[in-house]
Amino acid sequence: MASEIGVQNIQHTNGTTAITIDTSGNVNFNNPPINVGMTHVGSVSATTAAIDALHINGCFSADYDYYQVFYRVNRPGTTGAYLYIRFGNGGTLISTSTAVRGAMQYHQLNTSTVGDGKQYYFSSEGVHQIHGSLGSIANEYFSGECIIMNPFSSSIPTAIKSRCIMYQQSSEANKWFEESGSSEDVGDAASATDIRMGVVVGDEAGSDITASATFAPVDGNVTVFGVKT
């Protein structure tokens, strides 16, 4: 005969509740579990567009070195063409003395002619451009995933590897598969706890895009998972 143990809460010996089981048998963790594979550490979903609509505080910590991010970033207006990631601490974005360099390769879907190319990115103030470029029609967007490496470290430069589909709205043919990479300079490694994704008036030929660039209102969603090393 199988034995059963009936519990509602599982606590640490200090009395802090760690796990709760509701009447339907659903298990709820008081805090996200650590060192158990891929753990959800933060998410945001926005239907009202704003420059800071896709910002998550406190998702990076010493618990993980690597993070998997899933995103859909939509630009309801027509200003700005390049997807970016910025990092920060306590709600304040890194904006000085953090050089980042990136590159992106794109392939137009279902074509073998005039559909491939490259872009190159630079910012002296921590603006990681990772994809582009949108056209001039409203509600064009990026949908994809990226890996962020060592964002909490102050000695190892934060690096990003991203893949997405970019949707332009001028025709069904204007869909693009893109792969990119971006990294802080080794001498500018900066620790961060926060992430923001959005669209910026950027540059695909390596010109400096600073923290005073024009950032577009966006909506969509971003979900972040910590990955056990």
Residue 38, pLDDT score: 87
Residue 199, pLDDT score: 98
User: What is the H or E stretch that residue 20 is in?
Assistant: strand 17-21
Cα 96 to Cα 103: distance, rounded to the nearest angstrom: 21
Mean pLDDT of successive 10-residue stretches along the chain, which has 229 residues: 64 72 77 75 98 98 96 98 98 96 95 84 98 97 98 98 97 94 98 98 98 98 92
DSSP 94: P
Cα 102 to Cα 97: distance, rounded to the nearest angstrom: 16
Pairing of strands 38-50, 9-11: unpaired
Residue 12, pLDDT score: 67
Cα 127 to Cα 84: distance, rounded to the nearest angstrom: 7
Residues near 124 by beta carbon (within 8 Å), at least 6 away in sequence: 97, 98, 99, 208, 210
The structural domains of the chain, with segments of one domain joined by +, span 35-227
**Alpha-carbon dihedral sign for residues 140, 146, 150, 155:** negative
Closest CA to 184 of 220, 213, 156: 156
Cα 111 to Cα 107: distance, rounded to the nearest angstrom: 8
Identify whether the C-beta of residue 125 lies closer than 8 Å to the C-beta of residue 210. yes
Cα 21 to Cα 30: distance, rounded to the nearest angstrom: 11
Pairing of strands 92-93, 82-89: antiparallel
Count Cα atoms within 13 angstroms, Cβ side, for 181: 5
Tokens of 225: 């998972």
Identify whether the C-beta of residue 151 lies closer than 8 Å to the C-beta of residue 61. no
Question: For residue 52, which amino acid is it?
Answer: D
Closest CA to 97 of 123, 59, 115: 123
